[in-house]
Structure 1
Amino acid sequence: MSRPLTDADRRRQISVRGLAGPENVGELKKNFNRHLHFTLVKDRNVATSRDYYMALAHTVRDHLVGRWLRTQQYYYEKDPKEGGGWGRFGVSLPVLGCPPQFWGPSQPLLCCPRPQLGLDMEELQEIEEDAGLGNGGLGRLAACFLDSMATLGLAAYGYGIRYEFGIFNQRIAGGWQVEEADDWLRYGNPWEKARPEYTIPVRFYGRVEHGPDGAHWVDTQVVLALPYDTPVPGYRNNTVNTLRLWSARAPNDFNLKDFNVGGYVQAVLDRNLAENISRVLYPNDNFFEGKELRLKQEYFVVAATLHDIVRRFKSAKFGSRDPVRKSFETFPDKVAIQLNDTHPSLAIPELMRILVDEERLGWDQAWDITVRTCAYTNHTVLPEALERWPVHLLESLLPRHLQLIYEINQRFLDVSWGGGPGVVRTGGGPRGLGIERAWIGGMENKVKFAAYLEKVSGVRVNPASLFDVQVKRIHEYKRQLLNCLHIITLYNRIKKDPGKPFVPRTIMIGGKAAPGYHMAKMIIRLVTAIGDVVNQDPAVGDRLRVLFLENYRVSLAEKVIPAADLSEQISTAGTEASGTGNMKFMLNGALTIGTMDGANVEMAEEAGEQNLFIFGMRVPDVEALDRKGCGA
């Protein structure tokens, strides 16, 4: 008779290998119907396509949960160095949209659902909402970090804000951009799991008192950060990491006294103000309240995340919430924190505040730990894109952090310039990318995208034409204006000599303008106006078409990037830190026309400059022109 397993025996069995999946397609069908009936309380007579999507999502989620739990158990047992990163995630992390190779035994169901369940997989994928967590290259890289680390089996957490309304939906009315709310959570999110037991209080305002035992931040306003976890599966392995998103909640005792004595409206307004922190992505900061809300958002995610990281560092293995680690000497050996751009930069003073004020470490030791723990990547080199905050705003909202920033700055200046020659060393090197190239060619993607455009917008394009694509955030430095000038030039050439042979070209420009960026909105209006002229000219016909791709987002990128023939990467040299769309287009087989800017430089070095269409000034030329002036 075998003896019962001890806790130690069970822990030794923890592994992320060898987890069995569903035995057969029949089991998955059974789970699908179970969720349809018992989770959604529907049957085939009344179920909608969204109900089928939700049932399938819950079925796939069940398939992930065992791996998710086992991964966390494995991390607690092995206690590896853990990576954490902030980002505005420009991706929905759509599990149903993943290639069927991710799922192994479930491939027959997910790849060919029509004969198995009578459902159209592509229709179900279209129902899945893009998560409103961010946009652009910054969010795309954050999502790529999570995907890659899960695939490599690295212990990692992603952190962000669970925005109730994400990046706005863009509608073009009369040629102008109109912003509409992106209520991506209105039907619920089947992939997330609330974790109220790990709710963290985040403090704002107040004042600083200095005593014999150090500084104390007192008389603060408290907002609760409620975490929601989403699984992030690796590719062809059993690793499932976690994306933890914070939602702002007012404390339970929100001005209850005022409420009870008749101040109902003010009490409710105060509660709404607290929860506005996670209400919307990118509030307009052209006015003071918008700036304050943005700064609140940035500190909210930083404070909640760092307290969560410190809690896990101090906790025992196997999920115990009792502190066991007292010393922070090993903190940099167990934790690596990646700061994605300037938005989470308050992590530096916040980690210093935790170490100095709460853990009572000396300044030099705390600074050494902070420097060895945090890494930073910038995503632009434009001075105006590097965030600046009014001193009086920081002083009011985060008084202790402003004191720490002053101290950090003073010590840096003392080392750099005080008392003799100082050397400030900065380091940066080329980043190697290990990417498996999967080239997607042929006409299939172009035909599919042309059919999609006709279906959703009624616009007919010739799939045999050259698909010339520029999709990115609308900004002056990205030079959509230069593309417009090229379109006008092509149009004038056709009008001048209509009988001359001309390669048919469909030019597509897409992207969103920040709500408060008037010039970017004017650029969108210019593109649509040019399109109206070109597309309605019978002398041009199908030889030149101009389209503005409305509401550019992750799910639209998944369609247009594989269909592109030519990728426009034409920012002014020296303005783009890297860019990510250029790499995605190249990996999907598009030719690149562009300047020697951002990652175009590395792409030219790796692929050979002769394999890209490079034009325009180099960085030294641009700098020389800036010094001389355009009118010189």
Structure 2
Amino acid sequence: MKVTEKKFVADFKKKIAEMYTADYTDVSVDQLYQALAAVVHSYFVGNQQETRKKYKKEDRKQVYYFSIEFLPGRFLDLNILNLGLSAVVKEGLAKLGLSYQKIKEAEPEPGLGNGGLGRLGSDFLDSAAAQGIALQGNGIRYKYGLFDQRFVNGYQVEIPDDWLRSGDQWGSRRENRACLVRFGGNVWLQPDSLGRLRANYENTQDVMAVPYDYGITGYQNGVANRMRLWSAELPNQKDKIYTIAQKEEINQITEILYPDDSNWEGQLLRLKQEYFFVSAGVQSIIRAYRHLHQSLSQLPEKIAIHINDTHPAVAVPELMRVLMDDEFLSWDHAWNITQKVMSYTNHTLMSEALETWPEEMFAQTLPRIYQIIQEIDRRFRAEMIPLYGNELTATVAPLGDGNVRMAYLAVIGSHSVNGVAKVHTELLEDSVLGPLYKMFPERFNNKTNGINLKRWLQVANPELAGLLDETIGTGWQHHPDELQKFMVAVNDQKVLSRMGAIRHEKKKQLAAFIESDLGIKVDTHAIFDVQIKRLHAYKRQLLHAMYIIDEYLQLKSGKKLAVPRVHIFGAKAAPSYHYAKQIIKLLNTLAETINNDPDIGDQLKVVFLPNYDVSLAEKIIPAADVSEQISLAGKEASGTSNMKLMANGAVTLATMDGANIEIADAVRQDNIVTFGLSVAEAENYQNYRASDIYASDPVIHRILDTLVDGTFANCQTEGQAIFDSLVKYNDQYLLLADYQSYKAGQARIDSLYLDRNSWYNIAAINVSQSGKFSSDYTIERYAEEIWQVKIEQSAQ
């Protein structure tokens, strides 16, 4: 369907009249957004229908990507870009005297994730649609997003993120596709009249899973896949009456992302969430398959289910349940199918993130699934003990130490297991999942993460995208590896100057936002030193804070910084993660002290922007000079903010961890600043005594003393706790061991930045090498090497 500017304006004005019985000049910005979203949505509904018809006609193999998080960001910008309507919509609104920028800011962002995991899932959905891959997301439609982050006296305060308060402009309720999910009660097997074992349930808590489908548009290729999110509701059972308390208990299942799991009730709710969306998804998959196929033996040729981290690992026994209990397959037949259908991505090297559940809780909540896991465990042990012995087998069996161990279950029940960066996969094979790698080496492979460059360049930084188009053509939009052609800019002073001007304009835009949001004025000629990611001790925002204190002490002693600095943070801490929230308080205290110290002026500023999300990232990333990727080596699985910042021309300051290693290989060592212990050195750091470093290094001694000597007022409790974590409790993430190397890296940043032409040269090299980190290529590798599904390149 060809949409001209004239047609768009007419459709927009008509939609406002239909929705509000008013003229476009007489409605609010929120109403303008809702009408605009409705119009844009109408332009690709046909694509959704045609895509489904095409997949059905061709009997295409379908991939279902199961993830407890999706972090799509705002839909409007990306949809009009993918539909090729950016100019039409913006110019049409301008002719009506309306600002597209103001209208788009009215879109509530669905905060259905907490960082990299959810954002990766959404990037993969975007890229699959762009590549014509038949992939559908499967997750939860949380009533409230993660949380709205506010700072009160420097402390993080969590406010409910009511993203649905004005309705849902992009999701389509599909009540006719609802599924029943059962929790608790009793279950037993008995033969029916044909001698087939049937599962019988009594006293269960039944929940209706209702799907909402969100169109995921391909990049100017007419494809529209879907993200299916499930909402928990009361079953429509006429013979049963529910109390208000029962209704509330069911509503809780899809009310909030990541309930506090520091207590039994929170853990129980989390387990229910995971089984809820997995069971609904598996049931709907088998139902759809049954409409087209007679034999379940074909299932692995027509269906792939991908487990994104351990949260959906219960998909393995749930598919077994459906195949055996509902479809009457034998155990061996069902298990053969399940292993061929399932694949699993591990996203962590942190042992505490390898999800486990107390067997008592699991058995009470999911009794039939627990029975199946018991049998998986029994058969696994029977097969592996003769080969590998009882001790090794027991370490990775699905049941152990009184827990159900979901990562091990996912590996045993899948045909493919992948890490998300080369070094991460190697560490999985060597340590985290080492015994399982020994047993199933053929299952393990690497798929380095990627990002959707269309969002992170064309949406977030259209000025830089425009310069790329003018300099190397538009081919990179469909084939991101063509960004390598931008290496011509390295020897083109005119292009470098234009890139420098674009970067400075983005810094001015961010500075204006900072002043508007926080009342802090920053120098746009200073280095914008950025660390944006989830707040966690292993990501070492605290190491960054130590350097800020170091700079502050230098300035207070009368020295000047080589280059003024603006340190910019964006991060949320999990509500129950007390230590991370103490670090947030420290960072905000540093900002309050330093930004208001007349001795400091514009030499040093600290900015902690609240409520970090995709939309805020789109403001920060194009303005960043320095990309801080400073996790302890061996702790970050991959990272994706490193790729987003690189693509926008930031210079990476990094440990050799996760995908930083592959970025360094891509840009060469002269164009990245690396520091710190290697993975091997960090793993083998013997007899570490942080207290000895504190005693012997006067710089570190002085920095840490400020945490407890009153230098930073109103932070004594947090300062003491952080001091103790480093000195008394021996610095778990080796900040003190890496500090002097980190400081040397920051000094190199200063020297590079002083030669601005050289700095822009490095920026151009980073942009030119970022194409290989496109999620288009990552998803192609999944499709070809794991799922064995058809790829159709996007339109040219």
User: What is the alpha-carbon distance in structure 1 between the residues aligned to residue 372 and residue 665 of structure 2?
Assistant: 42
Matched, 1:285 2:261: yes
Amino acid at match of 2:382: D
The residue that corresponds to 1:425 in the other structure is 440
Q: Which runs of 5+ in 1 are unaligned?
A: 1-19, 260-266, 317-324
Share of identical aligned residues, percent? 41
Task: Give me the CA root mean square deviation.
Answer: 2.1
How far off its partner does 1:409 sit?
2.1
Q: Which residue of 1 aligns with 2:208?
A: 224
The residue correspondences of 1:61-210 to structure 2 (distance < 5 A) are 61-98=41-78, 101-104=81-84, 106-210=85-189
- After superposing the two structures, state which structure 1 stretch, 183-192 or 458-467, moved more: 458-467
State the partner residue of 1:21. 2
3-state SS of the aligned residue for 2:567? strand
Where does residue 570 of structure 2 map in the other structure? 510
Residue aligning to 1:41: 21
Kindly provide the CA deviation profile for residues 42-101 of structure 1, in whole angstroms up to 9, marking residues without a partner as x.
323531111111111111111111111111111111111111112244434533212854
- Cα distance in 2 for partners of 1:610, 1:374 equals 42
Structure 1 counterpart SS, 2:360: helix
| CA shift for structure 1 position 400 | 1.3
Q: Quick one: higher RCO (CA 8 Å, sep 6+), 1 or 2?
A: 2
* Shift of residue 609, structure 1, vs aligned partner: 3.0
Instruction: Work out the CA distance in 1 between the residues paired with 2:480 and 2:384.
Output: 40
Partner of residue 596, structure 1: 656
Q: 1:383 to 1:463 in 2, by over 3 A?
A: same
Match of 2:338 in 1: 370
The answer on whether the counterparts of 1:573 and 1:618 sit within 8 Å (CA) in structure 2 is yes
The aligned residue for residue 10 of structure 1 is none
In structure 2, give the amino acid aligned to 1:216: A
The answer on whether the counterparts of 2:40 and 2:80 sit within 8 Å (CA) in structure 1 is: no
Q: Structure 1 residues 612 and 107 mapped into 2: Cα distance closer, same or farther (>3 Å)? A: closer
Equivalent residue in structure 1 for 2:553, among 481, 487, 492: 492
Task: Determine the structure 2 residue equivalent to 1:214.
Answer: 197
Task: Check the 8 A contact 1:467/1:565 in 2, yes or no.
Answer: yes
Closer/same/farther in 2, CA of residues 45 and 595 from structure 1, 3 Å limit: closer
Taking the aligned partners of 1:493 and 1:70, their CA distance within structure 2 comes to 64
Give 1:307 deviation, angstroms.
Answer: 0.7
Residue type of the alignment partner of 1:604: A
Q: Which of 249, 258, 273 pairs up with 1:297?
A: 273
Q: Determine whether 1:250 maps to 2:234.
A: yes
Partner of 1:538: 598
> What is the CA distance between 1:626 and its match in structure 2?
5.5
- Could you give the per-residue CA deviations for residues 175-210 of structure 1, whole angstroms, max 9, x where no partner exists? 100000000000001111111100110010022213
State the shift of 1:381 in Å.
Answer: 0.9
Number of aligned residues: 594
Query: 2:16 and 2:208 mapped to 1: Cα distance?
Result: 34
Check the 8 A contact 1:113/1:121 in 2, yes or no. no
Partner AA of 2:50 in structure 1: R
CA distance 1:400–1:545, shift in 2 (3 Å): same
5 Å-filtered alignment, 1:254-403, equals: 257=241, 267-316=243-292, 325-403=293-371
Distance, in Å, in 2 between the alignment partners of 1:340 and 1:51 is 36
1-side partners of 2:144 and 2:531: how far apart? 26
Contact kept? 2:9, 2:92, Cα under 8 Å: no
- Give distance in 1, aligned partners of 2:10 and 2:286: 42
1:575–1:435 Cα change, 3 Å: farther
Structure 1 575/197 Cα, relative in aligned 2: closer, same or farther at 3 Å? same
How far apart are residue 450 of structure 1 and its match? 0.9
* TM-score for the superposition, normalised by structure 1: 0.90
Instruction: Give yes or no for contact 2:13–2:24 (8 Å, CA) kept in 1.
Output: no
> Structure 1 residues 577, 157: CA separation in 2 closer, same or farther (over 3 Å shift)?
same
1:593, distance to aligned residue in structure 2 (A): 0.7
CA distance in 2, matches of 1:199, 1:363: 27
Alignment CA distance shift 1:83-1:214 (3 Å): same
CA distance in 2, matches of 1:449, 1:347: 43
> Does residue 510 of structure 2 align to residue 449 of structure 1?
yes
1:7 equivalent in structure 2 = none
Tell me the TM-score normalised to structure 2 length: 0.72
* 1:243 Cα offset (Å): 0.8
For residue 425 of structure 1, report the CA deviation from its aligned partner.
2.5
Letter in 2 for 1:405: I
In 1, the alpha carbon distance for the partners of 2:98 and 2:592 equals 39
Q: Note if contact 1:223-1:248 (Cα within 8 Å) is conserved in structure 2.
A: yes
Output the CA distance in 2 between the equivalents of 1:222 and 1:615. Answer: 54
Quick one: structure 1 residues 456 and 404, their matched pair in 2 at CA, closer, same or farther if it must change by over 3 Å? Answer: same
3-state DSSP of counterpart to 2:277: helix
Q: Which moved more, 1:501-510 or 1:198-207?
A: 501-510
1:375–1:435 distance in 2 versus 1, CA, 3 Å = farther
| Match in the other structure for 1:461 | 522
Instruction: Write the distance in 1 (CA, Å) between the matches of 2:90 and 2:541.
Output: 39
Question: Contact 1:171–1:177 (CA<8 Å) still a contact in 2?
Answer: yes
SS at match of 1:97: helix
Q: After superposing the two structures, state which structure 1 stretch, 107-116 or 364-373, moved more.
A: 107-116
Residue type at the aligned position of 1:54: Q
Q: Which runs of 5+ in 2 are unaligned?
A: 394-437, 451-478, 487-498, 693-796
SS of 2:271's equivalent? helix
Q: 1:475 aligns with which of 530, 536, 540?
A: 536
Q: Distance in 2 between matches of 1:420 and 1:602?
A: 35
- 1:322 is aligned to none
Aligned equivalents of 2:654, 2:510: Cα separation in 1: 24
Counterpart CA distance in 2 for 1:402 and 1:330 is 27
| Pair 1:115–1:484, CA change in 2 (3 A) | closer
Distance 1:388 1:590 in 2: 38
Q: Distance in 2 between matches of 1:626 and 1:186?
A: 54
What is the CA-CA distance between 1:517 and the residue it aligns to? 0.7
Residue from 632, 636, 643 that aligns with 1:576: 636
Measure, in 1, the Cα distance between the counterparts of 2:669 and 2:370.
47
What residue identity is the alignment partner of 1:431?
K
Does the C-alpha gap of structure 1 residues 29 and 616 become closer, same or farther in structure 2, counting only changes over 3 Å?
Answer: same
One-letter amino acid matched to 1:379: H
**In structure 1, how many angstroms separate the alpha carbons of the residues matched to 2:79 and 2:626?**
25
The whole-number CA distance in structure 2 between the counterparts of 1:608 and 1:473 is 28
Q: Secondary structure at the match of 1:237?
A: coil
Which residue is equivalent to 2:768? Answer: none
> Which of 218, 232, 244 in structure 2 is aligned with 1:234?
218
Return the offset for 1:627: 7.2
Q: 1:164 to 1:100 in 2, by over 3 A?
A: closer
CA 1:583–1:49: 2 relative to 1, 3 Å: same
Tell me, in whole angstroms, the C-alpha distance in 1 between the residues paired with 2:91 and 2:661.
42
- Is the CA contact (8 Å cut-off) linking 1:92 and 1:129 kept in structure 2? no
After superposition, the C-alpha distances for 1:487-528 in whole angstroms (9 at most, x for unaligned) are 111111222233x45301100112111111110110100101
How far apart are residue 217 of structure 1 and its match? Answer: 4.4
Distance between the aligned counterparts of 2:286 and 2:688, measured in 1? 52
Q: Secondary structure at the match of 1:379?
A: coil
Q: In the alignment, is the contact (CA less than 8 A) between 1:90 and 1:143 conserved in 2?
A: yes
Alignment-derived partner of residue 550 in structure 1: 610
Paired with 2:631 and 2:131, the residues of 1 have a C-alpha distance of 33
CA distance in 2: counterparts of 1:99 and 1:76, whole angstroms: 24
Q: Which moved more, 1:454-463 or 1:110-119?
A: 110-119
Paired amino acid for 2:262: N
